[in-house]
Amino acid sequence: MTRTSVADVTGDWWSVALRGGVALLAGVVMVVSPIPHQSHLLPVFGAYMLTEGIVELVTAARAARAHQPWPKVAAQGILGVLFGLVNLVGGGLPAVVRADFIALRTFVHAVSDISVARRLRTDGPAMLPAWHLLLAGIGSALFSVLLVVGPAVQARLLGRLDWLACLYLVGLGLILLTLAVRLRALSRVPPSTPPVSAAAH
């Protein structure tokens, strides 16, 4: 989401829902899988980033066809696909390096989410629920920082990061799904309806 009009932002509710659903699914898989979490932490994150990147590329394509801003979303999608594939297949890279890719990807999303949330709060209509996106961005930023606090600490965290990764993915998924439900509801509000009556708290 990179625009501030009600129609444009709420029209992207499906991509927000997909992103949230994939994050929630990845977190649940890590919780219920019989495989030790540290053994499939990076591949699960890789699958999550790959799927999320594909969703963003589709969103960028739709925006381009509608003559709306798309390069930023496309760049994030390409980054997600590349880093997702690296973490999914390994490619002979050390786990710490692959974790750095996760941290970079997560931080890019954090900056984007926080930036859009701030823009919605200052330039967008009051009915748009920017705080969901702001909360998701802050959570992503904190998680990315924990992955790059230092090589020695990072190496130790990789074996104990399963619970934190599960919490992050499930929390992010729930926040984004809640945001998607709110955006979908707003997309169904008739244009003539006053903004005050459309805002539900």
Tens-digit pLDDT profile for residues 36-54: 555 577 888 888 899 989 9
- Mean pLDDT along residues 102-115: 89
- Mean pLDDT along residues 186-193: 60
Q: What is the pLDDT of residue 196?
A: 37
With bands split at pLDDT 50, 70 and 90, how would you rate the model's confidence at 92? confident
Angstrom CA distances, 181 to 20, 107, 151, stand at 11, 25, 40
Nearest partner of 112 among 149, 71, 81, judged by Cα: 71
pTM of the model: 0.76
Residue, of 8 and 82, whose pLDDT is higher: 82
Residues 169/136, Cβ–Cβ less than 8 Å: no
> Residue 179 and residue 193: Cα distance in Å, rounded?
21
Tens-digit pLDDT profile for residues 128-162: 677 888 899 999 998 888 877 755 555 555 556 66
Tokens linked to 136:
């998701």
